[in-house]
Chain A
Amino acid sequence: MYGKKASELVKEFASSEPGQLSAFNNDLFSQVLEECNGHLLHLQSLLRKMQEDGPDNQTSRNADHFGALMHHLSIVRNKRCLMAYVYNRAEVIQHLGWTIERVLPEEIEEKLSNPEKDYFKNHSATLQSYMSELDLDLAVDMVPPKDPYIKVRVLEEIGNVVLSDQFANLARHAILFLRRTDAEHYISQGLMEELSS
């Protein structure tokens, strides 16, 4: 049946959890493109046949006309599926730019196709430059804090770092009070956890 492969591609995206990406399915993607080329060949041969049959036959409702129509519709459908696949993945990638800054962890990066990697890089660079122009970090928590400091536990060895108000040794399992703004991106990267008091 026409358009089967394309809808498989869309289904694959739909079955992955929202906000998560599965590996870019290059194989299936190029199979759909091939299918489109096949449709185009059929379409062209039918159009040629219609032209040969004479001008009076071109607009009438004959069998060739409907054959060509079906191929045309299949191409349009395949295009929609491919576009939706790429577009929706791009949305997820854009969202990644807000939650994890700049560097993608390996296990996510290997799922992206090359253009998608570039897209992520450029998008997060744009975000960064916009934020530095504004001199404002737009990715911080939207709810105003009750206390500027929070208690955190370090989950993975980070080492000595310079924070906005102190030098800190972020050794594994250390429990300390940090400025919320300092701690936030460590938490979102999974290097710390917040301890509720």
Chain B
Amino acid sequence: MTNYFDIDDILAEDELVPATFREATNGVGLFDSTDDTNKVEPGSKVELPFWLAQELHLRQAVTVNVPPCFNKRTREEIDADAAHVDLRNRCPFFYELGYKIAPLVGDKTIGRVLLIAFRTRYKEVLIKAHTAAFEATAKFLSLLTEEEVKLYKAAQSSAIAFKKWRKGGPRFQKASVLGRKRKPIQ
């Protein structure tokens, strides 16, 4: 289980997933409804954030459908060359959402897609993190999901730490919180 206070988990659950209402629901002004009763008719197709869709799905009030980031086209692209698919644009929490949504929609193939994508991209991320010059990375970073960006940064900082350790140098540094805004020197 993830931590209740985990920021990334909260944001991942904010991703929209398509859902279809199976039951009528009263008194929710979710959507620009046509009358004042704010009623949602059964059969309406809507996009709900995952945190809401999941709970409603468990109570059989809505049916969750597979989100567009796991559609056929994306799968084909991942099969072709996973390392260069723009996953960030599709869903910045691609893996987390896939992991959470798979049991709900009962699609067994999602797990395989996630695994292939992650395995191929993981290698690429590490190679780039250790070799690429800083200027060249911006374009590459824009393809990565949040989790991959974290991996990339971790790899990069360990490479930097290794270099620093080899060269030696000052151990003490100013507390990093103080670094940003310097008071103007009069």
Q: State whether these chains interact.
A: yes
Which chain A residues have a beta carbon within 8 Å of chain B's beta carbons? Answer: 1-3, 7, 10-11, 13-14, 19-21, 42, 45-46, 61-64, 66-71, 73-74, 77, 80-81, 83-84, 87-88, 96, 99-100, 105, 107-108, 141, 143, 150, 183-184, 187-190, 193-196
Contact between A7 and B14, CB atoms less than 8 A apart: yes
Bound Cα distance A14, B7 (Å): 7
Considering the complex, give the chain A residue whose CB is closest to the CB of B185. A156
Bound CA–CA A190/B182 (angstroms): 10
Quick one: closest A residue to B183, CB to CB? Answer: A107
Binary flags per residue of B54-76, CB closer than 8 Å to A gives 1, else 0: 01100101000000000000000
Question: What residues of A have a CB within 8 angstroms of the CB of B51 in the complex?
Answer: 3, 73, 77
A-B contact pairs, 11 of them (CB 8 A): A2-B49, A7-B14, A14-B7, A67-B28, A83-B5, A84-B6, A105-B178, A107-B180, A143-B171, A188-B172, A190-B179
Q: Give the CA-CA distance A87 to B3 in the complex, in Å.
A: 12
The answer to whether B175 touches A61, judged by C-beta atoms less than 8 angstroms apart, is no
A127-B59 Cα distance, complex, nearest whole Å? 48
CA distance A23 to B171 in the complex (A): 31
Chain A contact surface mostly: helix
Nearest B residue to A83 via CB reads B5
For window 1-32 of B, CB contacts with A under 8 Å fall at 4-8, 10-11, 14, 23-28, 30
Q: Which residue of B lies closest to A108 (CB)?
A: B177
Taken together as a complex, chains A and B put the C-alpha atoms of A195 and B14 apart, in Å, by 48
A64-B168 contact given A7-B10, A188-B175, CB 8 Å threshold: no
- With contacts A61-B23, A88-B5 taken as known, whether A70 is within 8 angstroms of B49 at the C-beta atoms is no
Q: Which residues from chain B contact A77 at a C-beta distance below 8 Å?
A: 51-52
Across the interface, B56 reaches (CB within 8 A) one of A11, A70, A81, A194, namely: A70
Are the C-beta atoms of B174 and A10 separated by less than 8 Å? no
CA distance A58 to B185 in the complex (A): 70
Contact in complex: B49, A1 (CB < 8 Å): yes
- The minimal Cβ–Cβ distance linking B47 to chain A, given in whole angstroms, is 9
Q: How far is the CB of A155 from chain B (nearest CB, A)?
A: 9
Interface of B is mostly: loop
Q: How far is the CB of A100 from chain B (nearest CB, A)?
A: 5
The range of chain B's interface size is 35 or more
Q: What residues on B are CB-neighbors of A189 within 8 Å?
A: 174-175, 178
How near does chain A come to B149, taking the closest CB pair, in angstroms?
12
Q: How far is the CA of A194 from the CA of B168 in the complex (A)?
A: 13
Q: Which of A11, A46, A188 contacts B26 (CB 8 A)?
A: A46
Knowing that A2-B52, A188-B173, A194-B170 are A-B contacts, what are 8 other residue pairs whose CB atoms are under 8 Å apart, sorted by A's residue number?
A: A1-B49, A70-B30, A80-B10, A84-B5, A108-B178, A187-B173, A189-B178, A194-B171
Does B39 make an interface contact (CB < 8 A)? yes
B4 contact set on A, CB distance < 8 A: 80, 83-84
**Cα-based distance from A77 to B7 in the complex (angstroms):** 13
For the complex, what is the distance from the CA of A40 to the CA of B55, rounded to whole Å?
18
Assess whether A2 is in contact with B30, with CB atoms less than 8 Å apart: yes
- Residue contact B8 to A187, C-beta cutoff 8 Å: no
Using CB atoms, name the residue of chain B closest to A99.
B175
Q: Is the CB of A1 within 8 A of B55?
A: no
CA distance A125 to B162 in the complex (A): 36
Considering only CB atoms, which chain B residue lies closest to A191 in the complex? Answer: B174
Give min CB distance, A36 to chain B, whole Å. 15
CB B26 to nearest CB in A, in angstroms, measures 4
* CB nearest neighbor in B for A73: B55
